[in-house]
Amino acid sequence: MQEEDPLVVTHVSDVLLSVDKNKEAILLLAEKIREYPYLVPLLLKQAQAFLKSEYFEYAYKLSKICVDLCPESFEAWFQMAEVYFFMKKIKMVSKISIFISNFVEPYRNGYCAIIP
């Protein structure tokens, strides 16, 4: 029997977010994150859902975790910059954009996951 790809949940949550079912997306992602707590794409997607729901502190905490787990991830840094933008911390957005252009972008290789 083939096991389901945990990243399928990110696509389902995209659909839920597109029809303003933010809470359902957050809860769906939370279930899968319990199974795969270090899978950065799941954490990023939940941060996006929190951001869309205007729960900026939760979005910030998840984005910070993603950057800590996968510092070479362009997507993690971009998510962090987006959270700072919505929190109106413009100085941090400019610092992150400089960092991304100098460090992360040359090594961009997609998502990473840390397996415990």
In a domain, residue 57? The reply is yes
Read off the pTM.
Answer: 0.78
Tell me which residue range forms the domain holding 72.
Answer: 8-107
In a domain, residue 49? The reply is yes
In a domain, residue 102? The reply is yes
**Burial grade of 108 (CB within 10 A; 0-12, 13-18, 19 or more):** exposed
In a domain, residue 46? The reply is yes
The domain total for the chain is 1
- DSSP conformation letters of 23-40: HHHHHHHHHHHHH-TTBH
The enclosing domain of 82 has a CATH number of 1.25.40.10
pLDDT for residue 48: 96
pLDDT in 10s for each residue of the chain, 116 residues: 446 888 999 999 999 999 999 999 999 999 999 999 999 999 999 999 999 999 999 999 999 999 999 988 889 988 988 998 888 887 777 777 766 666 655 445 554 544 44
* Contact between residue 76 and residue 70 where contact means Cβ atoms under 8 Å apart: yes
